[in-house]
Amino acid sequence: MAHGMKVTMVVHSDYFHDHRVRREASALISAGYSLSVIALSPGFERSCVDAADDAIIHCIKLDKKSGKARYFEMIRKTRKTLHALPAPDVFHAHDLDALIAVAAFAKAREIPLIYDSHELHTEVHSLQNRPFTKAIWKFLEKKYIRNADRIITVSDGIAELLQQRYILESTPSVVRNFTNPPEKSSTNPNGDALTEAITLPNTEYISLYQGMLQPGRGVELMIEAVAALPDWSLVICGDGMLRQQLEDLTRQHGCVDRVLFTGMISRSQINTITKSCTLGFLLTEPLGLSHYYSLPNKLTEYIQAGLPILATGLPEIRRIVNNYSVGITIPPEELSAESVAERMKEFGDNPGAFGKGLKKAAGELNWDAEKQRLLDVYAELKA
C-alpha cells in the first residue's frame, strides 16, 4: 500500500515517551507513508539520528535548561535541522511551539502543513496568572494557524473553540487520544524481577493513578480521600514536580503504608498493577480551558485495561464515562476529598457494576478505530 509520500513530523518533546505522537507515527507508517521525526533528545543515551517504529528520528539536544533561552535554542536548532533534511511532501507540527518553528519554512517551500494541537496551548494552567505571556502565545497562534492546510486536535470542545476564536473556514478535525488494549507480553519463567519488586499495599481495595505529578491532576484529593478510608490504598505510577510535596502529604495524613509511589515504570508493569486495582482516578481540575476541554490518554488506558473510572465531570470526560457507564463522575464544582471518598465507597460496594460498559467501550474507543480520522486528514491533502 506504499505510496511514497514523505512526512516530516516536528515535536518539541521526547518522541520516545510521547504516546500520541508515536501512535500517529505508527498509523502513518502502516498506511504506507515514509516518516521522519524531529524531536528533543530523550533522557537516555541514543545516537543523534535513530530509528524507532520504522521512523527516522532526528534528535535535538538542548544545552539550555529552562526559560526563554531554551525555547529560542529549540526553535533555532529545529529550523537548522529542517534545512539539513530533504524536503518532505507534508509537514506535521505537534503543538504551537512546533508550528511556530515550521510554519514559515513550509510556506516558503509551498509544502502542505498539518497543525496538531494536543491541547489549548494558550489556555494551559501555567499561563492563567501571566496575562502578558498568554497574550503573546495567542498572537502567535493567530498568526501561524492560518499557515496550516489542515488542523487536528484532541476533543470536540477544543476544535470548536479554535474555530470560533480564529474564525477558521472549517472546524478542525478531531483525533482523540485513544489507546489499544495492552499487549499480551510473554512472561519469562522467572517473571519480571522489577514487577515482582513492586509490593502492593495489603488492603481490601486498591485505587490507581497513572500520570505526571503536576498541578491540576487532583492527586492531593486522592491521598486525602484514601487517608479517610482505612480499607483503601492508592498506587501512584508516575513522577513529577509535586512528588516530594505529595509524599509529605501522606506523612501528614498518616497513610504512608497505604500510598505507594512507584515512580516512572514500564507500561507492562502498570498493566500488571492494574489487574489488582478497584478503580482508576482521573480527577482533572478545571484550571483553565485547556484542562476543561481535555480528553486525557489515561481515560482509554483505564478502559482498555478494564478498570472502572472515578473522574471529574468535565464535558469530554463526562460524555464518555456516563454514556458508556464505565465509572462515576463528580461535578467539578463538587470536587473535594470528601466527595471523592464517598464515590469510592460505591466502587467497593459494587465491584462488577461497570464490567459491561467497559467491555463495550473498549471495543469502540480504541486507536485502531480512531486512527482512521488521522488517515482521512492525510487523504484530503493527497486529493
> What gap in Å lies between CA 383 and CA 380, rounded to an integer?
5
The domain limits of the chain are 6-178+367-382, 193-364
Ordered alpha helix ranges (H), the chain: 19-30, 67-84, 95-108, 131-144, 156-166, 193-197, 219-227, 243-252, 267-274, 289-292, 297-304, 315-324, 337-349, 355-364, 367-382
Confidence of residue 131 (pLDDT cuts 50, 70, 90): confident
What pLDDT is stored for residue 106 in this prediction?
96
What's the CA dihedral at 286, 162, 138, 285 to 10 degrees? 10
Q: Which among 35, 39, 40 has a CA at the least distance from the CA of 55?
A: 35
- By CB atoms closer than 10 A (0-12, 13-18, 19+), residue 28 is buried
Q: What is the DSSP string of 35-71?
A: EEEEEEPPSS---SEEEETTEEEEEEPP---SHHHHH
> What gap in Å lies between CA 115 and CA 151, rounded to an integer?
5
Q: What is the DSSP string of 239-302?
A: --TTHHHHHHHHHHTT-GGGEEEEES--HHHHHHHHTT-SEEEE-----SHHHHT---HHHHHH
Confidence of residue 174 (pLDDT cuts 50, 70, 90): very high
Q: Give the number of other CB atoms < 10 A from CB of residue 209.
A: 21
pLDDT tens digits, 37-95 = 999 887 655 555 666 778 899 988 888 777 788 888 999 999 999 999 999 999 999 99
> What gap in Å lies between CA 95 and CA 137, rounded to an integer?
12
What pLDDT is stored for residue 2 in this prediction?
47
More confident residue, 2 or 326: 326
Q: Is the pLDDT of residue 215 over 70?
A: yes
Confidence of residue 194 (pLDDT cuts 50, 70, 90): very low
Q: Is the pLDDT of residue 235 over 50?
A: yes
Coil vs helix vs strand at 150: strand
Distances (CA, A) of 112 to 75, 89, 146, 167, 366: 20, 7, 12, 20, 28
Percent of the residues in the chain that have a pLDDT greater than 70, as a whole number: 93
Domain spanning 193-364 has what CATH number?
Answer: 3.40.50.2000
> What gap in Å lies between CA 115 and CA 92, rounded to an integer?
6
Strand pairing partners for 58? 38, 49
What pLDDT is stored for residue 279 in this prediction?
97
More confident residue, 66 or 29: 29
Element holding 174 (H helix, E strand) = strand 173-174
270-299 burial code (b ≥16 CB/10 A, e <16) = bbbbbeebbbbbbbbbbbbbbbbbbbbbbb
Topology alike, domains 6-178+367-382 and 193-364:
yes
Q: Is the pLDDT of residue 27 over 50?
A: yes
Across the range 308-313, mean pLDDT stands at 98
Confidence of residue 130 (pLDDT cuts 50, 70, 90): confident
More confident residue, 192 or 33: 33
Does the 6-178+367-382 domain belong in CATH 3.40.50.2000? yes
Average pLDDT, the chain: 90
Q: Is the pLDDT of residue 183 over 90?
A: no
Q: Say if pTM beats, i.e. exceeds, 0.95.
A: no
pLDDT tens digits, 339-352 = 999 999 999 888 88
Percent of the residues in the chain that have a pLDDT greater than 90, as a whole number: 72
Distance from the Cα of residue 179 to its chain's centroid: 10
Across the range 100-111, mean pLDDT stands at 95
- What's at 190, amino acid-wise? N
